[in-house]
Amino acid sequence: MNGCLAVDKPAGMTSHDVVARCRRALAERRIGHAGTLDPPATGVLVLGVGRATRLLRFAENHDKEYVAEVVFGAATDTQDATGSTIAEVDATGLTERAVADVLPTFTGTIDQVPPMVSAVKVAGERLYKKARRGEEVERAPRTVQVHAIELLWFEPGPRARARLRITCSKGTYVRTLAADIGAALGVGAHVATLRRTRVGTWDEAMCAALEDVSPERLRPMADLVAGYPRRDVSADEARAVVTGKRLREAGIEGPYAVWGPDGLIAMAEDHEGGMRSLCVVSES
């Protein structure tokens, strides 16, 4: 069983919980996901099944879109609603115009310090494990791309609220983005709810409810690498790729999908005058 699908992850489950449920529903052990969603978050979780798991690292590189509800006037130690409040300010004076005006300063190439509750490794250990022990360690900033932030809705008050649509690169922490926006406005903020609405070409309309996952919902594994450049090869060249032989350069910058007469064969890149396979998904 080889293919992929998107699941609408419900709140309260880890991404691994979703994978475990799908393994039972599909009777297939080889299932993985492209891009973790925290337990409180909902929305698009892209899964690879069988040989398609080899393509998940390429699917993770796609841009993502989120809708976040942000509460101003309260900062938490986790930067979301699951944490403890560490600072409070009356946000009554905050206006929709002030929020709208500050958002462009957080678009483009920005640096983020990963939250202590993230899965980033420091000294060989996930940060969230250190956080559970009450530890706080220094984290190096990471550069990410925030393509757009749209203010969808604003409600004033002591705990003003806003709904934001955010389009960003892999590795962007929306909770950190919200906390930084709140700090820039002088009132602090945290994410109350978070929903991922798109991963690359996968959107909410393409998602299956968890209880509806079945073999019939699987899509071709090539959908995981939609958007990457394509290189078409002959049947003889396809056999060469499967057996580990190098082909001539394609003249394509970065990773590309290699297609033979029978479909997707591999992901590859040009390297030192030839083509280097990054992963092979065809077995013949």
pLDDT tens track for 104-120: 999 999 999 877 676 66
pLDDT above 70: residue 142: yes
pLDDT above 70: residue 54: yes
Quote the tokens at residue 129. Answer: 């494990």
Quote the tokens at residue 266. Answer: 């591999």
Q: What is the band of 34 on the pLDDT scale with cuts at 50, 70, 90?
A: very high
The conformation of residue 225, written as its DSSP 8-state character, comes to: G
- Do residues 240 and 213 make contact, with C-beta atoms less than 8 angstroms apart? no
- The verdict on whether 90 is a catalytic residue reads no
pLDDT, position 133: 74
pLDDT, position 132: 74
List the beta bridge partners of residue 105.
none
Amino acid at 27: A
The neighbour count for residue 279, using CB atoms within 10 Å, is 15
- Do residues 55 and 183 make contact, with C-beta atoms less than 8 angstroms apart? no
Q: How many residues does the structure list for the chain?
A: 284
Strands 125-126 and 121-122, by their bridges, are antiparallel
Q: 73 with 164, same domain?
A: yes
For 10-19, 54-63, 128-137, which range has the lowest pLDDT when averaged over its residues?
128-137
pLDDT, position 118: 67
Q: 133 with 178, same domain?
A: yes
- Residue 193 CA neighbour count, 13 Å, CB half: 11
Domain of 43, CATH number, reads 3.30.2350.10
List the beta bridge partners of residue 166.
66, 149
Q: What is the band of 127 on the pLDDT scale with cuts at 50, 70, 90?
A: low
Q: What is the band of 140 on the pLDDT scale with cuts at 50, 70, 90?
A: confident
Per the structure, the complete domain to which residue 34 belongs is given by: 3-62+200-225
> Of 253, 33, 79, which is closest to residue 182 (Cα–Cα)?
79
pLDDT above 90: residue 131: no
- Do residues 243 and 280 make contact, with C-beta atoms less than 8 angstroms apart? no
Q: 85 with 56, same domain?
A: no
Q: 77 with 183, same domain?
A: yes
Q: What is the mean pLDDT of residues 187-192?
A: 98
Mean pLDDT across the chain, nearest whole number? Answer: 93
> Of 68, 63, 18, which is closest to residue 201 (Cα–Cα)?
63
pLDDT, position 37: 93
- Name the residue with higher pLDDT: 132 or 99: 99
Count structural domains, the chain: 3
- Do residues 117 and 105 make contact, with C-beta atoms less than 8 angstroms apart? no
Q: 116 with 181, same domain?
A: yes
Return phi, psi of residue 38, to 5°: -65, 155
From 8, 38, 80, 223, active-site residue: 38
Q: What is the mean pLDDT of residues 247-265?
A: 96
Q: 189 with 165, same domain?
A: yes
